Structure 1
Amino acid sequence: MLFDNKIMFDLDAEDEEWTMVTRKENQFVVGGKPFYVNGFNTYWLMLLALDSSTRVKVTQTFEQASAVGLTVCRTWAFNDGDGEPCRYHLLFMMNKSSRWYRSHFKEALDFVVSEAKKYKVRLILCLANNWEAYGGKAQYVKWANAAGLNLTSDDDFFSDPTVIGYYKDYVKAILTRTNTLTNITYKDDPTIFAWELMNEPRCPSDPSGNRLQSWIQEMAFYVKSIDPNHLLEVGLEGFYGPATPERLRYNPNTFAGQVGTDFLKNHQVFGVDFATVHIYPDAWLSNTISEAYLQFTDSWIQSHIEDAEGVLGKPVLFAEFGVSAKDRNYSSGFRDQFFGLVYKNILNSTRTGGGGGGGLIWQLFPDGTDYMDDGYAVVLTKSPSTSSIVYLQSKRIRIFNSMCTWRCHWGCRRGSL
């Protein structure tokens, strides 16, 4: 087993300066070298960090991820739903000096960021949710109605001035806060890889996409006005919309083109530094695993890499991909095959200095957190074959990142990955 044999990445061997991730054309860059990504999602880290008894799970997550060479983690920087653990967000809106906000929320997010830095894992911090889990846009609309408005749709999140003001206030509070454990302001911290406007934004009440497009434009400008140094992305799933009818054939189904998003149009907004795509054939195609899953995945990745390179001139990050163990035909062998296919497509782009910036597993779990499993959990210590696949991808990506600089002009293709 990978962890038993201690076949791990050595953190002490990483002596490069901890500097901000930037972008040059369609590649991520750190210190003049390309920074292709092999990473993961663990969205609930801040929730576990709220309780001192579960903070060790945050540390274990980063420790195990770094051991197999994962370098980027995407996680939530919000928790605005109902319930005791989430009160800080509402209290923040009403009273910025609240004891709960000061003593719990700051410590929780600060701890996640500081632990990530210890294990040399960079963070994509997501600022809101399209879905109701952890509050989402529905909670913002509830706050506005409680304040006297009469909003009738959760999609009013994207256009109502009061709700937009709530979101902007929260964004500003996160970006300008100083971490109490590192004494570094978030907008100046190179541990943060990028900001994400929202997890999987959709606006089905306006399938033309105009409403969401306007929101992206306004919020991208706002974030960059506060923090011009960090990368910014939207959080999209990658669906093609009515603005690009010739690309609709790549969508997994007809409905995907009617949710108010458009992969190309949305990512051409000024201030948006890279594109994102999610890959869930089990949720989008059918409820039974089949060969069609792999065929779709292959064409889905290729079409988005082609568009990132040929149209957007930006990297594309495959920010979520996974297969659910709840499928009646699921097997660890199929998951390994699926992961291998995703990694192969990304690596083919990496070899040529292409726009396939990397991939993030959905989602990584440390031992003892099975009660939070949504079916997609990857527990590295219990999944030796999957751990080996992840490790090998990390190794190949790291070799390429360390061998090439911009002086190569992407033509050398040194060595063999």
Structure 2
Amino acid sequence: MGSLSFVATKGSQFVVDGKPYYINGFNAYFLMAISVDSYSRPRATMLLEEAAAAGLNTCRTWAFNDGNGYEALQTSPGVYDERVFQALDFVLSEAKRVGIRLILSLSNNWKDYGGKAQYVQWAQKINNNASAQLSSEDAFFSDATCTALYKNHVQTVLTRINTITGVPYKNDPTIFSWELMNEPRCLSDQSGAILQAWIEEMAPYVKSIDSNHLLQVGLEGFYGPSSSVRVDANPNSYCQQLGTDFIKNHQVPGVDYATIHAYPDSWLGWNVSVEDRIAFMKSWISVHAADCSSGGNLQMPLVLAEVGLSQWSGGFTVANRDRLMAATYAALLESARASGAAAGALIWQLFPPGMDNWSDGYQILLSKDISTAAIITQQSQDIAALNANSAPPSATPSRASLISFPGKLRSNL
């Protein structure tokens, strides 16, 4: 990849070296886990090389794996398996080599790879089960012990010195950004106050350790109580009960850009027509891009951080998946070409060959799914052309400069 500059923001756009920067990428949450053992490590290299050959420039993956599961990173509170950490070092070094930036997620809302449930279990043990507050997984967001454990993990990862490159993570521009949590939800507090308070504490904490990198929350994009005029944009009424709030959560100092996820199969129903799914995708992108635009509530870049169509959904065909992806990409390009807030998408998810037993129904193999790979590659070419021809944006102060600091398995709705 050569010499890199950190990705920054200016208004509603990403910038690199002062020029607008757009992304086309993918999710591969498992990269650290498959890089631990020598027999599976080549799959990580293969996937990154295939993705780079297709022009993809960004990958989102896990920088957590908590508990006693497969290739756990944090095996107990504050105790890390050095073999696994060195696997993450390897992923970073390989990503740099092939020219792909990484979005690293620091925790999980779900039980997969430990998640907030594991932190609550650890806190229960530390407190000898004496705290009634620790009866719910959502205690993760408010319990002092959970907060301390999470902050320790953040500090451990951000200050890690890569054993291959010798570069501290917080100083490595190969990292595009940090993510507080994959798809945070707090169902026990539908008002959203608990999750909001957690974000307000954790975003500045991350920035207090690492002021180089951007930060995102990890949200799915659901509108909550502070956005009553927007709730009709949600895929269903249940989304208002999840304790999240797209607008308010992203207004926290230290949060640099907004994210949405999109699963128009499980969210809308497994047997909804592809036409209705495409219509939802266009609307979902449009309304959030408007909120993030220079005249909107947030004035920050927007990334479609997960999007996919399951092979297990009703009426699935490769042609329907291709239609959905092409329409989604077109909507993002339309915004980007108009200097809008939509900065790109990360498909869920790319697999290398040999991982059939990891299937979640959404996987795409670039070497096998030829028509889909062609659409992905074309989007990469269009994004590359935008990046090559982008003019510097107007001299609007970046969000970070306005702030001073003392920082998967799919779910159905």
Scaled by the length of structure 2, the TM-score of the pair is 0.92
The one of 279, 287, 309 equivalent to 1:303 is 287
Task: Give the one of 276, 279, 298 matched to 1:312.
Answer: 298
Q: 1:217 maps to which residue?
A: 200
Match of 1:239 among 219, 222, 228: 222
**In the alignment, which of 371, 374, 379 is matched to residue 385 of structure 1?**
371
- What corresponds to 1:277 in structure 2? 260
The partner residue of 1:113 within 81, 84, 92 is 92
Distance of 1:94 and 1:168 partners within structure 2: 10
Partner of 2:34: 48
Q: Is the 8 A contact 1:289 1:327 kept in 2?
A: no
The one-letter amino acid paired with 1:354 is G
> C-alpha distance in 2, partners of 1:84/1:232?
28
**CA distance, structure 2, for counterparts of residue 409 and residue 388 of structure 1:** 37
Equivalent of 1:73, from 45, 55, 59?
59
Is the partner of 2:306 in helix, strand or coil? Answer: strand
Q: How does 1:3-152 map to 2 (within 5 A)?
A: 17-83=3-69, 85-86=71-72, 88-91=73-76, 93=77, 95=79, 101-102=81-82, 104-147=83-126, 148-149=128-129, 150=131, 151-152=134-135
Give the CA deviation at 1:81. 3.5
Secondary structure at 1:360's aligned position in 2?
strand
Structure 1: which amino acid aligns with 2:313? D
Provide, for residues 332-378 of structure 1, a one-character-per-residue CA deviation record: whole Å limited to 9, x for no partner.
Answer: 00000010111011000111111001100000011111211100001
CA gap 1:258/1:334 in 2 versus in 1, 3 angstroms: same
Residue 382 of structure 1, CA deviation: 0.6
Residue of structure 2 in register with 1:8 after alignment: none
Distance change in 2, residues 1:116/1:271 (3 Å): same
CA 240–105 in structure 1, closer or farther in 2 if over 3 Å, else same = same
The structure showing larger relative contact order (alpha-carbon pairs under 8 Å, at least 6 residues apart) is 2
Deviations 1:244-284 (A, max 9, x none): 11100000000001100010000010000000000101111
2: CA distance, partners of 1:163 / 1:325: 37
Residue 407 (structure 1) shift: 6.3
SS of the counterpart of 1:157? helix
Letter in 2 for 1:397: I
Q: Percent identity?
A: 50
CA deviation profile, 1:219-267 (whole Å, cap 9, x unmatched): 0010000001100000000000011111000000000011000100000
1:407 & 1:372 partners in 2: Cα distance? 42
Contact 1:20–1:230, Cα closer than 8 Å, also in 2: yes
Q: Which amino acid aligns with 1:146?
A: K
Q: Name the residue aligned to 2:333.
A: 347
CA distance in 2, matches of 1:65, 1:90: 31
Aligned pairs (5 A) from 1:319-358? 319-358=305-344
Alignment gaps of 5+ in structure 2:
397-413
Which of 179, 183, 200 is the equivalent residue of 1:196? 179
Distance 2:278 2:266 in 1: 13
Q: Conserved in 1, the CA contact under 8 Å of 2:78 and 2:153?
A: no
Shift of 1:105: 2.1
The alignment's C-alpha RMSD in Å is 1.5
Considering fraction of residues, name the structure with more helix.
1
Q: 2:243 aligns with which of 260, 278, 284?
A: 260
Q: Which residue identity is paired with 1:188? A: N
Is 1:371 equivalent to 2:357 in the alignment?
Answer: yes
Gaps in structure 1 of 5+ consecutive residues: 1-13, 411-417
| Offset of residue 409 of structure 1 | 8.7
1:304-354 deviation per Cα after TM superposition (whole angstroms, max 9, x unaligned) = 000110110100000000000011310000000010111011000111111
Q: Relative to 1, partners in 2 of residues 1:407 and 1:319: Cα closer, same or farther, differing over 3 Å?
A: closer
Alignment deviations for residues 191-240 of structure 1 (CA, whole Å, 9 cap, x no partner): 00000000000001000000000000100010000001100000000000
- For residues 53-80 of structure 1, the C-alpha deviation after alignment (integer angstroms, 9 at most, x for no partner) is 1000110110010011100000000000
Does structure 1 conserve the Cα–Cα contact (< 8 Å) formed by 2:86 and 2:163?
Answer: yes
Deviation, structure 1 residue 405: 2.3
1:287 aligns with 2:270: yes
Aligned in 2, Cα 1:334/1:211: closer, same or farther, shift over 3 Å? Answer: same
Amino acid at match of 1:132: K
Task: Give the 3-state SS of the residue equivalent to 2:138 in structure 1.
Answer: helix
Provide the TM-score with structure 1 as the length reference: 0.91
Is the contact between residue 69 and residue 114 of structure 2 (CA under 8 Å) also seen in structure 1? no
Distance in 2 (alpha carbons) for counterparts of 1:94 and 1:357 = 36
Q: Which amino acid aligns with 1:304?
A: H
Q: Secondary structure at the match of 1:50?
A: coil
Misfit runs of 4+, over 3 Å: 407-410
Q: How many residues align?
A: 389
The Cα shift of 1:83 comes to: 2.8
